[in-house]
Amino acid sequence: MPETPAVPSGRRRVSPGAVLDGFFFVLAGLASVWLAVLLATESLGLGWGLLWFAVLFWALLAYLVLPRLHRILTRLYVPDYFIGRTRTSDGLLGDPVNLAVIGSAEQLHAALAAAGWNRADDVTLASSWRIVTATVRRRSYLRAPVSPLLLFDRVQDFAYQQEVANNPAKRHHVRFWRCPDGWMLPGGHRVDWVAAGTFDRAVGLSLFTLQVTHKIDEHTDIERDHVVASIRRAVPQTRLVLIRDFATGYHSRNGGGDNIQTDGDLPVIDLRGMPLIGTPPGTALPDGGTVIELTGLS
């Protein structure tokens, strides 16, 4: 066997500061559970004030207590290397990674814009407020923000979406992460971007944190194929490599507790043959527009 490159061996050195931080992190989690108990006890003695307390209690539970507990627990049991799933900011498993892209950022942005996708705004106080009001009043918000999901220990680089029925409750959306340098998909395929495309079908409560969030359609393959088809229509030079059974068909839940069903195929969208406006044509791929299937041993 060839020699493996140097990997940091043994346990990582843990600094006292990190231990202290971990202590406060867990203590705060336990204290927040106690606070929830105190509030619940207190609310029993209130008449109509109970209603206000119930809302307060839910907010505390959904936005402070449960996320903190999930963060403590998922740190212990969810692997932080690539398992074909993104993670929510609370560490829970999120949308599946079901797309990959080869090409520069410019090519990807241009292809998505040509295919009728809108770039999502960053999550800020203003954009969050706007998506809430737009959803409640059934107004259109083409660049509505998407929630942060993590892959490679960081939030998506950008996300694109398509509104359905002119309001942000239902929408197609896809998040993109740039792969770390030299990183390869399991199986040894080198790609520049990986992406997670899912369809938001409604607004509801998350199963695990009780937070208000989008519920996704369980048939994530439909959304994946929609993204691929829209780009191939808009950019005829797209070469498609279809890695069959990349993630064997699994039935699972995302971070909001929604079911996911997939055939496990991973389409790799190769945009290297796409010409960009204002630059000399790049290396036009001879097999642009074709589909190449990669199947496993059988």
Partner 1 sequence: MTGTVAPGRVERPPSVIGGVLLMWVRALTGGFAILTVVLSWDSFVGTIVVNGEKLARSDPQAAGAVLGWLLAAYGLYLVLYLGLAVLVFTGHNWARVVAMSFASVSILLSFADYALNGAQITLRTSLVSVTIDILILLALSSTQARHYARAARASRA
The site for partner 1 (CB under 8 A) is made up of 17, 20-21, 24-25, 27-28, 31-32, 34-35, 38-39, 42, 45, 64, 68, 71
Tokens of residue 265, six digits: 């195929």
Q: Which is nearer to partner 1, 12 or 137 (CB)?
A: 12
Least distance CB 3 / partner 1 (angstroms) = 35
Smaller CB distance to partner 1: residue 31 or 292? 31
Nearer to partner 1, 24 or 183 (CB): 24
Nearest distance in Å: CB 72, partner 1: 11
CB contact at 8 A, 96 and 247: yes
Nearest to partner 1 of 71, 272 (CB atom): 71
Closer residue to partner 1 (CB): 32 or 238: 32
CB of 155 to partner 1, least distance (A): 12
**Cβ of residue 159: shortest distance to partner 1, in angstroms?**
19
- As measured in angstroms, the least distance from the Cβ of 128 to partner 1 is 11
**Residue-wise DSSP of 250-267:** -EEE-TTS-EEE----EE
What CA–CA distance (Å, rounded) separates 63 from 212? Answer: 10
CB 207 within 8 A of CB 69: no
Which CB atom, from 132 or from 142, has the smaller least distance to partner 1?
Answer: 132
- Which lies closer to partner 1 via its Cβ, residue 92 or residue 102? 92
CB 157 within 8 A of CB 176: yes
- Please, what is the minimum distance in Å from the beta carbon of residue 190 to partner 1? 30
The least CB distance from residue 32 to partner 1, in Å, is 6
